[in-house]
Amino acid sequence: MADPILTLSGITKTFPGVVALDKVSFDVRPGEVHALVGENGAGKSTLMKVLAGLYHPDAGEIIYQGQPVQIDNPLAAREKGILLIHQELSLSPELSVAENIYLGAWPTNALGVLNKRKLRRDAQAALDAMGCSFGPDDRVGTLSVAMQQMVEIARSQAFSANVVIFDEPTASLTDTEKDQLFTTIRGLQRQGVGIVYISHKMDEIFELTDRITVLRDGQVQGTVTTRETDATAVTRMMIGRTLEAYFHKADSTFGEEVLRVDGLSLQGQFEDVSFSVRQGEVLGFYGLVGAGRSEVVETLFGVRKADRGTLQWQGAEIPLPTPRQAIDLGMALVPESRKEQGLVLMMGGMENTTLPHLASYARSTVMDRGKERATFDEYKDALSIKTTGPDQPVSTLSGGNQQKFVLAKWLCAGPKLIILDEPTRGIDVGSKSAIHTLIAKLAEQGLAVIVISSEMPEVLGVSHRVLAMAEGRLVGEFEGDAMTEENLIDAVSHHLARPAAE
Amino acid sequence: MSATNSITKAGGHSSVTRLLMRNHIWVFLALTIVVFSTASPYFLTINNLGNVLTQAAFIGILAIGMTLVMIDGEIDLSVGAILALASALAIGLQDHIGIWPAVFVGFLSGAALGFLNGTLVALSGMHSFIVTLGGLIGIRGLVFIYTGEDALMVGDFSYTEYPEIYLGPISLTAMIFIALALFFQWILSSTRHGRETYAIGDNIDAAHDAGINIKRHKIINFTLCGALAAIAGILLSMRLGTAEPNAGKVWELWTIIAVVLGGTRLQGGYGSMWMTIGGVLTLAVLRNGLRLLNTPNYVELMVMGTVLVLALLIDKLLSRQEA
């Protein structure tokens, strides 16, 4: 077996309060495709940025072609022959293909005048080596996403890369484009290039890679040979067992059905999703990132437009709503990225709470500060939010307290159904358990609650019923004694392990 | 790997339509010329068109520098004030150090202030809108202090004869404008610095990752922009024979209007000197044509405001169609 071309040993990287990488060791051999997998926050992107020279490790050693090296910046990485293919492509749409391939390394004479002929010729050679159908003079902005990706990969030929790192390269590709990408990757492999392949998608990993390294919470859980393992084992390594938190399951009686979804589909996102939720019930959605859970609830809420499917709201069939209609019906969606979607960070907690309901807090058009204050106090106590006062900007609060204001904002409208997308991501343990208690209390008050979570103990701990999702499909429904980690893992990984062609 | 052939290009327009869409300002300019030619018998004369070119040259030279800065994704609001300072120095210092040294100092003042703008933007991370807004006010103050709030008069009137050099109907001022525009178009299209301007304005992260020195690059473009503003100021002082403290007031706005009208993107990454020349000429033709028709000044402003919004609306519609 060939010696590794690139070896990381004991790489540690800390950010204030977080150990992003904890003594990570990892290597790539020439001509191998090495998968790097792990849930969000496991440390994959940090490791990648260390390799690309964007981060400098606090400790550990990088050995490249037998020599210890230091990678100062992305350019240095590229000059050494380590190339990162970004998920968000790193190209200038207004420049030509040739200019993009050699971005930052254009051939010039002493006066800085471009040697356009050489640039064009070299780029053409790189494109020919890849079998690309477009020319060096095409403007990158006119190319499809797949072709733009080829432009980035063409840099591997232009700079004679020895190691190419792909970060979720198939995220925005069609199936045909994906097959072509794999052909290209195998071509690189034959040239003896070592490839690091980061992905969430098990079928791709088992189709393409030779070895798999699993990261969890910044630590390597193990490196396995792809032939000798299966999706269930890898999933198990990825998810593992997290600290048992205290869970309080709602002790509620189920009432009328609030929402029923039938055959909801959205091309490329999810297929034929059907479920229902009753008053007082907490319905959990479990799945790995990219399974389509958020997309489903965003469609219910009208953020995305479904291709097919019907909705019944409190027993009556309704057309798919717009977000405004969804709010008026009594739906509330607490999105995953609270900073981007949930809060106006410069405003105080009180103003954030009443923001979607300003009409009910105003006399004609003038705001009723007293009424707003009363609502603020009510939710501050009910959710035990730690804030110095109604006007403290929410940007200065902890993640947990921010999340509580997002909840307060939706609760004060008196919704009938509340959808929580990853309600405890990125918040501390104490606030987590407060939010779990709150979920139980809401259900006990008769609300229907949908909780989306990638944390298995959480989803099992708070829900009465759990739906498992994988690759845009519902792959299992579990209730009562059937709600176990084993069953969820099996449901999700069995689906993932099936070949892509199916 | 012949399989890649089935990946198709986005958008299906022919290269001619694409070219027209990307240079719509020239179509617009041709239209305005046709309109004014039929409306006024004085418009389409060699003399008048030569005048239009001379009148366009001052905003035009400012617009060349502005285009460089704007493709970078930045803006320079201080060009009008720099123009006034350079013009004041070029005239005010003549009695002390002679004509050409005074002109040189005027030029240097513009380059130095541009360098200062660029350094502040690149090193502090402040937005160029703020930095050069400070420049706009501060430099204008400096001009008032230097001129003592009065117009400076040139002593040696041979100075005002240079603009009277004509090549046929084309004045020296206009020639300098055209020459500079062509030179900087070449810089943009054929030199490393020029192509980097696009890369930085278009996708600054990609440019940074590719090892392009963004700070140095931006400082160079701001310096060029300041130096060009000084050249415009010197040419203006030659033409008028005086340096008024209020010279070039709100010209930075007309400059930005001309550049944007041409089609250069305010957010950066896209544009060219051809477009800017088109924008500058369109503004000058509109102004000249409306004056020939004896349009009152405020109506002229209204028409020009409307035209600006219309032209940008067309640009928006075309770029949507292109995408």
- CA–CA dist B12, A299 (Å, integer): 32
Which residues in chain B touch residue A106, judged by CB atoms under 8 angstroms apart?
192, 195
Q: Residue B277's CB: how many other CB atoms inside 10 A?
A: 25
- CA–CA dist A402, A408 (Å, integer): 10
- CA–CA dist B32, A34 (Å, integer): 63
Pick the closest to residue A254 from A447, A99, A480 (CA basis): A447
What's the average pLDDT block by block, 10 residues per block, for chain A (502 residues)? 87 80 93 88 84 89 92 88 85 93 90 92 92 91 89 92 91 83 93 91 89 90 91 79 59 89 90 93 87 88 88 91 87 76 78 78 79 86 81 79 84 88 75 82 91 86 91 89 85 65 38
Check if the beta carbon of residue A205 is closer than 8 Å to that of residue A37: yes
pLDDT, tens digit, 9 for 90 and up, residues B156-197: 888 998 888 898 889 999 999 999 999 999 999 999 999 999
Pick the closest to residue B219 from B62, B114, B126 (CA basis): B114
| Alpha helices (H) along A136-195 | 145-158, 175-190
pLDDT at position A210, please? 95
| Strand pairing report for A417-421 and A448-453 | parallel
The answer to whether position B104 is within a domain reads: yes
Could you give all domains of chain A from N- to C-terminal order, each with its CATH number? 6-239 (3.40.50.300), 257-497 (3.40.50.300)
DSSP B224-273: HHHHHHHHHHHHHHHHHSEE-TTTTTTHHHHHHHHHHHHT--TTSS---H
- CA–CA dist A93, B207 (Å, integer): 12
B→A interface, C-beta within 8 Å: 1-11, 190-193, 195, 198-199, 202-203, 205-212, 269-270
The answer to whether position B76 is within a domain reads: yes
Q: Partners of A446 in the beta sheet?
A: none
In angstroms, what separates the C-alpha of B270 from chain A's closest C-alpha?
A: 7
| Strand pairing report for A6-15 and A82-85 | unpaired
3-class SS of residue A63? strand
C-alpha distances in angstroms, A222 versus A38, A64, A204, B192? 11, 22, 19, 47
Structure-token pair, residue A134: 């477009």
Which residues in chain B touch residue A144, judged by CB atoms under 8 angstroms apart?
7-10
The beta strand positions in chain B, using DSSP E, are 152-153, 166-167, 170-171, 242-243
Pairwise CB contact (< 8 Å): B206 & A111: no
The answer to whether position B12 is within a domain reads: no
Residue in chain A nearest B323 by alpha carbon: A142
pLDDT over 80 (residue B15)? no
DSSP A66-108: TEEE---SHHHHHHHTEEEE-SS----TTSBHHHHHTTT---B
Structure-token pair, residue A90: 């790193």
- CA–CA dist A114, A120 (Å, integer): 11
CATH number, domain at B59?
Answer: 1.10.3470
Q: Residue A283's CB: how many other CB atoms inside 10 A?
A: 24
Going A351 to A354 to A357 to A361, the CA torsion angle's sign is negative
State phi, psi for A114 to the nearest 5 degrees: -65, 140
In angstroms, what separates the C-alpha of A277 from chain B's closest C-alpha?
A: 42
Check if the beta carbon of residue B95 is closer than 8 Å to that of residue B244: no
Residue in chain A nearest B269 by alpha carbon: A94
Pairwise CB contact (< 8 Å): A103 & B206: yes
B/e letters for A377-403, b = 16+ CB within 10 Å, e = fewer, are eebbeebebebeebebbbeebeebbbb
Check if the beta carbon of residue A255 is closer than 8 Å to that of residue A278: yes
The answer to whether position B17 is within a domain reads: no
> What is the number of structural domains in chain B?
1
Planar angle of CA A341, A346, A352, nearest 5 degrees: 60
Which of A91, A99, A187 shows the shortest C-beta gap to B195?
Answer: A99
pLDDT at position B191, please? 92
Helix (H) or strand (E) holding A276: strand A270-278
Pairwise CB contact (< 8 Å): B211 & A104: yes
DSSP assigned state of A319: P
- CA–CA dist B104, B90 (Å, integer): 8
Q: Partners of A167 in the beta sheet?
A: A198
pLDDT at position A339, please? 62
Pairwise CB contact (< 8 Å): A114 & B191: yes
Pairwise CB contact (< 8 Å): B1 & A146: no
- CA–CA dist A425, B321 (Å, integer): 41
pLDDT > 70 fraction of chain B, expressed in percent and rounded? 91
Which of A114, A131, A142 shows the shortest C-beta gap to B190?
Answer: A114
| Strand pairing report for A211-216 and A194-198 | unpaired
pLDDT over 80 (residue B6)? no
ipTM confidence score: 0.82
Structure-token pair, residue A148: 């733009």
Contacts of A26 (CB under 8 A, 6+ apart): A7, A8, A11, A34, A36, A47, A213, A220, A223
A→B interface, C-beta within 8 Å: 52, 54, 73-75, 78, 90-95, 99, 103-106, 108, 111-114, 116, 130-134, 138, 142-144, 146-147, 150, 176-177, 179-180, 183-184, 187
The answer to whether position B315 is within a domain reads: yes
Domain coverage including residue B103: 43-322
Which of A94, A104, A113 shows the shortest C-beta gap to B212?
Answer: A104
The answer to whether position B37 is within a domain reads: no
Which residues in chain A touch residue B198, judged by CB atoms under 8 angstroms apart?
92, 94-95
Pairwise CB contact (< 8 Å): B209 & A92: no
Which residues in chain A touch residue B209, judged by CB atoms under 8 angstroms apart?
52, 54, 74-75, 90, 104
- CA–CA dist B174, B163 (Å, integer): 9
Higher pLDDT among residues A359 and B73, named by residue = B73
The beta strand positions in B75-161, using DSSP E, are 152-153
The answer to whether position B9 is within a domain reads: no
Which of B1, B10, B198 shows the shortest C-beta gap to A144?
Answer: B10
pLDDT, tens digit, 9 for 90 and up, residues B100-110: 999 999 999 99
3-class SS of residue A43? coil
In angstroms, what separates the C-alpha of A171 from chain B's closest C-alpha?
A: 16
Which of B1, B8, B210 shows the shortest C-beta gap to A103?
Answer: B210
Which amino acid would we find at residue B282? Answer: T
3-class SS letters over A415-456: CCEEEEECCCCCCCHHHHHHHHHHHHHHHHCCCEEEEEECCH
- Model confidence at B13, pLDDT cuts 50, 70, 90, reads low
Which residues in chain A touch residue B8, judged by CB atoms under 8 angstroms apart?
144
| Strand pairing report for A194-198 and A33-37 | parallel
Check if the beta carbon of residue A114 is closer than 8 Å to that of residue A102: no
3-class SS of residue B141? helix
Residue in chain B nearest A88 by alpha carbon: B206
DSSP assigned state of B93: T
Higher pLDDT among residues B232 and B164, named by residue = B232
In angstroms, what separates the C-alpha of A129 from chain B's closest C-alpha?
A: 9
Which of B1, B6, B193 shows the shortest C-beta gap to A187?
Answer: B1
Q: A-B interface: how many C-beta pairs under 8 angstroms?
A: 107
pLDDT at position A402, please? 82
